[in-house]
C-alpha cells in the first residue's frame, strides 16, 4: 500500500480528485502551456474572448474535428508541399485561429514527424504539439465497447489514459449507441453506457456519443409485435430522447451534430402510433438541447445548404455558407459560451484535384465562426 501522505490507497491525489496518471499528465503540459501563454493568445487572430457583446462562439471555444482535414493528416510530407501530418496541420490550424481540437483517431502518414503516434508515447508527443500551438484537445471519436468484458474494459481504460495525457475533458465515439430501432436494444445500450460513463468519470472524463439523423428517428416501442416478438409501432419518442431519459445525466453526455439533427427535422416527420394512425411530429434540435443543455458539452458545427431534391434535404458546406440558422440555434440552447462547437465538414477534402481544399475551408469556416453574433 502506498503510504505517501499526498496519495490515498486508491491513488487519488488529495484535494485534486486526480489519479496519479491524470496528475502527471496534467503537470506534463504545465510548463509548455506556461511558455506558450507568452507567445500565443487565446484570442487568436479574430480577437479576444471579451469581444463585443453578441459574440456567440468565444475565441477559446472555436474548434475543429480533425476528420474534416483527414486528407492532410494522412498525407505524406515527403511528396506534398501542403501541410501534412499532425504536427504541421496543428500548426496551421493554430495559425488560422482554432483553439480546440477533437481527434478522429490517432493515425497519420508514417513519414510524418513522429511516425506512428497511436500509442502512449505518441500521445505524449501529440500533447507537446498541442501545447506548443496553444491548442486544447476536447475529445476523440474513438471506440466505445459494444460488449462489456474484462478485455473491452481494459481497452477502454487505456483509451481514457491516452485522453488524460492529451488533456481531454471528454471521450467518445462518432457512432450512435446502437443502430437498432427497437426499445429493448436501446435499453441495453443505456445500461452499458451508464456503466462506461461511470467508469470514464473515475478517469475525470465525460463520456459522449455523437448522432446521425437516424438516431433522432422514432423508436419502435409499442403496437403489435412482429414474428420475433418486437414492437412494430411507436409512442412518438425518438431514439436518442429515450437514451437521454434512461441514462445518468452525471455520466453520459451527447455531442449534437447540428447538421444531422436538422436532417432529422427534414426526414423524420411522422410515426405510426400504436393504433395504426399516422402522427406528424416535427423535430426541434435546439429545444432538445435547451431542455438539458449541460448534457451537450460538445457540438459539431456542421453547416448545410438546403437542397430538397436530395434524401437528406441539405448539402454539406463550409460553416456560415449554408442555411442552418446557427445564430438562432446558439441563442436558444442556453448556457451561452459554455458549449464547445467543433467545425466539421465530411466533404472538405479536395482529393488530388485540390489538395489544399480542406485547410482552405478551415480558414473560411473559422472566420465565419468568429463573425457569428446574436
Q: Which domain holds residue 222?
A: 21-371
pLDDT of residue 46: 34
Q: Write out the three cell numbers for 129.
A: 504539439
pLDDT of residue 31: 38
Contact yes or no for 71/91 (Cβ under 8 A): no
Angle CA 333–338–38, to nearest 5: 155
Residue-wise pLDDT tens digits, 142-184:
999 999 999 999 999 999 999 999 999 999 999 999 999 999 9
Percent of all residues in the chain with a pLDDT value above 70, rounded to a whole number: 86
Q: How many domains does the chain have?
A: 1
Rounded Cα gap, residues 72 and 352, in angstroms: 11
Backbone angles phi, psi at 260, to 5 degrees: -65, -30
What is the residue whose three cell numbers read 484535494?
15
Backbone angles phi, psi at 299, to 5 degrees: -125, 155
Q: Where are the beta strands (DSSP E) in 12-69?
A: 12-13, 18-19, 63-65
Q: Which of 8-17, 117-126, 292-301 is least confident?
A: 8-17
Name 245's Cβ contacts closer than 8 Å, sequence gap at least 6.
237
The answer for 218, left when phi > 0, alpha when psi is -120 to 50, beta otherwise, is beta
Residue 277 lies in a domain: yes
Judged by DSSP in three states, 224 sits in strand
pTM of the model: 0.86
Mean pLDDT of 339-365: 97
Residue 106 lies in a domain: yes
CATH code: domain of residue 96: 3.20.20.150
pLDDT of residue 116: 96
Give the number of C-alpha atoms closer than 13 A to the C-alpha of residue 347, restricted to the C-beta side: 11
Radius of gyration of the chain (CA): 21
Contact yes or no for 297/249 (Cβ under 8 A): no
Res 9 pLDDT > 50: no
pLDDT of residue 334: 86
Residue 289 lies in a domain: yes
Residue-wise pLDDT tens digits, 202-221:
999 999 999 999 999 999 99
Residue-wise pLDDT tens digits, 278-327:
999 999 999 999 999 999 999 999 999 999 989 999 999 999 999 999 99
For residues 93, 261, 212 and 272, what is the CA-based torsion angle, rounded to 10 degrees?
A: 180
The answer for 48, left when phi > 0, alpha when psi is -120 to 50, beta otherwise, is beta
Q: Which of 256, 169, 154, 167 is nearest to 207 (CA)?
A: 169
Q: Which of 318, 324, 201, 336 is nearest to 264 (CA)?
A: 324
Residue 125 lies in a domain: yes
Residue 7 lies in a domain: no
Res 370 pLDDT > 60: yes
Burial class (CB in 10 A: 0-12, 13-18, 19+), 50: exposed
Q: Which of 306, 327, 189, 296 is nearest to 259 (CA)?
A: 306
- What are the CA-CA distances from residue 95 to residues 41, 89, 164 (Å)? 11, 10, 25
Residue 230 lies in a domain: yes
Burial class (CB in 10 A: 0-12, 13-18, 19+), 336: middle
Element (H or E) spanning 140, and its range? strand 136-142
Element (H or E) spanning 343, and its range? strand 340-343
Residue 72 lies in a domain: yes
pLDDT of residue 231: 98
Residue 11's pLDDT band, with cuts at 50, 70 and 90, is: very low
Residue 346 lies in a domain: yes
Residue-wise pLDDT tens digits, 69-119:
999 999 999 999 999 999 999 999 999 999 999 999 999 999 999 999 999
Amino acid at each position: 500500500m502506498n503510504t505517501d501522505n499526498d496519495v490515498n490507497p486508491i491513488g487519488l491525489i488529495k484535494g485534486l480528485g486526480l489519479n496519479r496518471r491524470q496528475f502527471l499528465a496534467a503537470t506534463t503540459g504545465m510548463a509548455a502551456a506556461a511558455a506558450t501563454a507568452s507567445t500565443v493568445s487565446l484570442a487568436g487572430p479574430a480577437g479576444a474572448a471579451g469581444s463585443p457583446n453578441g459574440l456567440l462562439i468565444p475565441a477559446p471555444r472555436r474548434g475543429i474535428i480533425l476528420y474534416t482535414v483527414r486528407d492532410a493528416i494522412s498525407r505524406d510530407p515527403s511528396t506534398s508541399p501542403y501541410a501534412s501530418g499532425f504536427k504541421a496541420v496543428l500548426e496551421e490550424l493554430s495559425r488560422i485561429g482554432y483553439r480546440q481540437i477533437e481527434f478522429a483517431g490517432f493515425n497519420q502518414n508514417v513519414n510524418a514527424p513522429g511516425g506512428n503516434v497511436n500509442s502512449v508515447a505518441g500521445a505524449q508527443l501529440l500533447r507537446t504539439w498541442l501545447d506548443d500551438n496553444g491548442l486544447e484537445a476536447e475529445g476523440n471519436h474513438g471506440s466505445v465497447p459494444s460488449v462489456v468484458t474484462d478485455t473491452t474494459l481494459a481497452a477502454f481504460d487505456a483509451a481514457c489514459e491516452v485522453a488524460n495525457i492529451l488533456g481531454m475533458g471528454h471521450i467518445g465515439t462518432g457512432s450512435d449507441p446502437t443502430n437498432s430501432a427497437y426499445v429493448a436494444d436501446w435499453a441495453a445500450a443505456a445500461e452499458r453506457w451508464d456503466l462506461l460513463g461511470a467508469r470514464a468519470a473515475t478517469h475525470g472524463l465525460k463520456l459522449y456519443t455523437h448522432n446521425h439523423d437516424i438516431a433522432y428517428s422514432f423508436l419502435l416501442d409499442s403496437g403489435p409485435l412482429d414474428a420475433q416478438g418486437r414492437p412494430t409501432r411507436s409512442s412518438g419518442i425518438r431514439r436518442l430522447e429515450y437514451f437521454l431519459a434512461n441514462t445518468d445525466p452525471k455520466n453520459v453526455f451527447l455531442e449534437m451534430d447540428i447538421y444531422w439533427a436538422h436532417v432529422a427535422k427534414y426526414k423524420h416527420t411522422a410515426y405510426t402510433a400504436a393504433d395504426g394512425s399516422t402522427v406528424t411530429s416535427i423535430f426541434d434540435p435546439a429545444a432538445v438541447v435547451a431542455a438539458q443543455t449541460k448534457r451537450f458539452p460538445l457540438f459539431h458545427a456542421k453547416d448545410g445548404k438546403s437542397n430538397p431534391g436530395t434524401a437528406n434535404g441539405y448539402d454539406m458546406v463550409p460553416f456560415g455558407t449554408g442555411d442552418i440558422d446557427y445564430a438562432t440555434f446558439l441563442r436558444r440552447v442556453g448556457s451561452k459560451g459554455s458549449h464547445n462547437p467543433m467545425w466539421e465538414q465530411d466533404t472538405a477534402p479536395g482529393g488530388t484535384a485540390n489538395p489544399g481544399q480542406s485547410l482552405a475551408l478551415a480558414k473560411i469556416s473559422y472566420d465565419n465562426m468568429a463573425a457569428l453574433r446574436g
